[in-house]
Amino acid sequence: MLHLRIIAPGDRTDAVVKLLDSTVGATHLAVLPGAARTPPGDVVMCDVAREAADDLLQELRALGLPEHGCVAVDQVELSLSDRAERAKVDAPGEGVDAVLWESLTEATHEESQLSVTYLAFLTVATMLAACGVMLDSAILIVGAMVVGPEFGPLAGVCTSLVRRVPRLALRSLTAIVAGFPLAMLLTGLFSLLMDGLGLFSEADFAKPHPVSDFVWHPDKMSLVVALLAGVAGILSLTSSKSGALVGVAISVTTVPAAAYAAVALGYGELSEAGSAMGQLGVNLVGILLAGTLTLLAQKAFWARKRKQRPAVVSEV
């Protein structure tokens, strides 16, 4: 269940209450007349089944509440209520499958900002991956994959394509296009510093790396893994299974490939660097393609569910 707290101008409260009262899957309706001060208005609260929330949020937006009031949404971790159980039964579909497009757009918008924190995480992840490559350490490479924040902007591009939000697409692409070159540049300088300190060496770079060899050798399986990761990543963002995103981060070699390319360029190994960049490109394209197709499939699925919605109104 989700809890909605709405600040509605006095002249729109009746319309809001009528909407909530007629929404399949909504319950626990409460109205506090004149309780809001900034902005002034009435406070309206209700609980709604996750699978019914997206349509409701769109209707609330159509009433002009974001401009003239407020709509806040919280996850209800525990609700001891028979009415809540009936609301979830009445609502079409399953809550775990539901896509909250407003929430997804907001989340990817925040994750796609070219901020100092984003660049710091991406750079540190790339440097960790460089250490993992030089030491042929699976632990360091996996750790770098987990630290890397690149899936946020990739999901932002997918969301912008499906929802047709050009600003989000521009922001997300900027984070990707500017972030990776900067992280690679700093990692290249880091590798030269480590070489100067005697911690890295060209001999270490040239020797066999059986554990991390997959990082810079793109093949057909690289695309398959990227496609599967794109599907899993989008599903983890759109459902309540957000913990699965860690597994997605571990499954793709975007950051390690960028790290290897940076180190290879530092030692003048252009062929190796090109191969690693190919691995990076395959992963980025695969994730974007699979993520966009997954969102389109979810959009079509829920459009069909809306047509099958039963004519039932939950008690409030």
Side-chain half-sphere CA neighbours of 301 within 13 A: 13
pLDDT of residue 156: 92
* 74-92 pLDDT per residue, tens: 989 888 999 999 998 888 7
pLDDT at 316 > cutoff 60? no
Distance in angstroms (rounded) separating the CA atoms of residues 80 and 182: 51
* 176-187 pLDDT per residue, tens: 999 999 999 999
In the chain, the DSSP E strands lie at 2-8, 26-37, 40-48, 70-75
pLDDT at 231 > cutoff 50? yes
Higher pLDDT, 103 or 39: 39
Distance in angstroms (rounded) separating the CA atoms of residues 78 and 3: 11
pLDDT at 288 > cutoff 50? yes
Mean pLDDT check: name the lowest of 90-99, 143-152, 280-289. Answer: 90-99
Write down the mean pLDDT value for the chain. Answer: 88
Higher pLDDT, 268 or 315: 268
The answer to whether 126 and 184 have CB atoms below 8 angstroms apart is yes
Higher pLDDT, 309 or 311: 309
Higher pLDDT, 57 or 239: 57
* 161-205 pLDDT per residue, tens: 998 888 889 999 999 999 999 999 999 999 999 999 999 999 989
* 209-227 pLDDT per residue, tens: 888 888 888 888 889 999 9
Q: What pairs with residue 40 in β-bridges?
A: 37
Of the candidates 124, 278, 125, 269, the one whose C-alpha atom is nearest the C-alpha of residue 203 is 269
pLDDT of residue 105: 84
pTM exceeds 0.85 for this model:
no
Which SS3 state, helix, strand or coil, does residue 218 take? coil
Peptide bond preceding 256: is omega within 30 degrees of 0, i.e. cis? no
Of the candidates 109, 104, 92, 14, the one whose C-alpha atom is nearest the C-alpha of residue 57 is 104
Q: Which domains are seen in the chain, by residue range?
A: 2-93 (3.30.70.120), 103-302 (1.20.1080)
Percent of the chain scored above 90 by pLDDT?
Answer: 61
Band of residue 248 on the pLDDT scale cut at 50, 70, 90: low
